[in-house]
């Protein structure tokens, strides 16, 4: 019997609706993720990456949010879960590391109290046992003087230590899936590297699946097995990390590669992507990247291209959402 993927997402759509407008934050996202695998979602701010993560745990405000599609995690239909079912899912099966731990941690409780509460809530047992586990977790995420930090409040820790504490809380109930929402963005470069290495080592040691959201190509490459490039609420390219990085086939991915310092020699001039991301409340017709694309042709503006595989075979087949993907990098061959 073949094991089912740990995560299956099919045609996920998220809209934010108000009297004035409708924002199409996520449009038709589909993917699968196996146990122990890491998916990196890469894209600029506002591309829908964080909204996708929150939709997986149904953390978006219900009043103004419209979610459609299929989300299955650990054989559970997330869209069908009631409030009690969602409470059991969050923390025990799926945990999340947020971008800014200072806003995610409760300022009136110590770090130790917050870890203990998560353990007792989902696994029961005594608070004394939970506190021992909390100490073990702080030591596992390499917080110095871990016993003393148990009684510290979030504001008493540095940004790097707060992020490590957030990781400890996320791991407290041994989740099968860890969602990491730009966990290194608010940290300085040295601490970013430390947190990335810590996440990679913990993921491998514990055998968790992870979805890692970032705008940093280097960070995505460091921790991911497969990568999905997101633009204007859609995946525009997807595949194994090495294949996407070495052979980008969507103009947006190509632009991200040209505007990053990852594996670039000192003194090399970077090439920024021209223009700005589109307004998700008023997307252009056709390909959303067309207004910024150096290879745009009239056909690009007439229809939204599908995400099509470039070549068959491979565990993570390379796919791109471009009607002329075979011509990317060869503008002299473009025709209307």
Query: Tokens 């146990």 belong to which residue?
Result: 35
* pLDDT reported for residue 218: 85
Nearest-angstrom CA–CA distance, 210 and 298: 39
Least confident of 80-84, 110-114, 269-273, 295-299: 269-273
209 DSSP assignment: E
List, for residues 122-131, the tens digit of each pLDDT value.
Answer: 888 889 999 9
Residue with more model confidence, 331 or 33: 33
Determine if the pTM surpasses 0.85: yes
Q: Is residue 250 very low, low, confident or very high in pLDDT (cuts 50, 70, 90)?
A: very high
Asked if residue 169 lies in contact with residue 135, where contact means CB atoms within 8 angstroms, the answer is: no
What the chain holds in terms of domains, given with CATH numbers, is 7-93+175-333 (3.40.50.300)
* pLDDT reported for residue 189: 78
List, for residues 148-173, the tens digit of each pLDDT value.
Answer: 999 999 999 998 899 899 999 999 88
SS3 letters for 93-137? CEEEECCCHHHHCCCCCCHHHHHHHHHHHHHCCCHHHHHHHHHHH
Q: Is residue 329 very low, low, confident or very high in pLDDT (cuts 50, 70, 90)?
A: very low
Q: Is residue 183 very low, low, confident or very high in pLDDT (cuts 50, 70, 90)?
A: confident
Paired strand residues for 179: 96, 211
Average per-residue pLDDT in the chain?
Answer: 88
Return the sign of the alpha-carbon dihedral for residues 302, 307, 310, 242: positive
* pLDDT reported for residue 74: 94
Asked if residue 33 lies in contact with residue 87, where contact means CB atoms within 8 angstroms, the answer is: no
List, for residues 97-115, the tens digit of each pLDDT value.
Answer: 988 777 888 999 999 999 9
List, for residues 193-227, the tens digit of each pLDDT value.
Answer: 888 899 999 999 999 999 999 988 888 888 999 99
Q: What is the largest CA-CA distance in the chain?
A: 70
């Amino acid at each position: 019997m073949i094991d089912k993927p740990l995560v299956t997402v099919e045609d996920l759509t998220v809209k934010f609706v108000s009297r004035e407008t409708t924002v199409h934050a996520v449009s038709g996202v589909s993917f699968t993720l196996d146990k122990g695998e890491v998916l990196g979602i890469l894209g600029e701010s506002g591309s829908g990456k964080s909204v996708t993560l929150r939709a997986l745990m149904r953390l978006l405000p219900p009043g103004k949010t419209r979610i459609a599609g299929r989300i299955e995690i650990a054989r559970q239909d997330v869209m069908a879960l009631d409030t009690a079912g969602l409470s059991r899912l969050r923390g025990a099966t799926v945990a999340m590391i947020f971008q800014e731990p200072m806003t995610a941690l409760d300022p009136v409780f110590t770090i130790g109290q917050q870890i203990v509460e998560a353990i007792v809530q989902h696994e029961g047992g005594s608070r004394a046992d939970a506190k021992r586990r909390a100490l073990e977790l702080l030591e596992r995420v390499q917080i110095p003087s871990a016993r003393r930090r148990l009684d510290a409040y979030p504001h008493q820790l540095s940004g790097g230590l707060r992020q490590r504490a957030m990781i400890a809380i996320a791991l407290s109930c041994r989740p099968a899936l860890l969602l990491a929402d730009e966990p290194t963005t608010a940290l300085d470069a040295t601490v970013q590297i430390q947190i990335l290495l810590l996440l990679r080592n913990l993921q491998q040691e514990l055998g968790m699946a992870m979805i890692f959201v970032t705008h940093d190509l280097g960070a995505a490459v460091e921790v991911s097995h497969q990568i999905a490039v997101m633009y204007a609420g859609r995946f525009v390219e997807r595949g194994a990390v090495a294949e996407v990085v070495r052979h980008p086939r969507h103009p947006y991915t190509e632009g991200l590669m040209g505007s990053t310092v990852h594996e670039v020699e000192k003194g090399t001039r970077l090439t920024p992507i021209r223009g700005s991301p589109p307004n998700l409340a008023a997307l252009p017709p056709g390909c959303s990247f067309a207004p910024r694309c150096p290879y745009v042709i009239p056909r690009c503006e007439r229809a939204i291209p599908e995400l099509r595989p470039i070549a068959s075979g491979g565990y993570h087949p390379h796919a791109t959402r471009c009607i002329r993907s075979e011509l990317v990098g060869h503008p002299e061959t473009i025709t209307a």
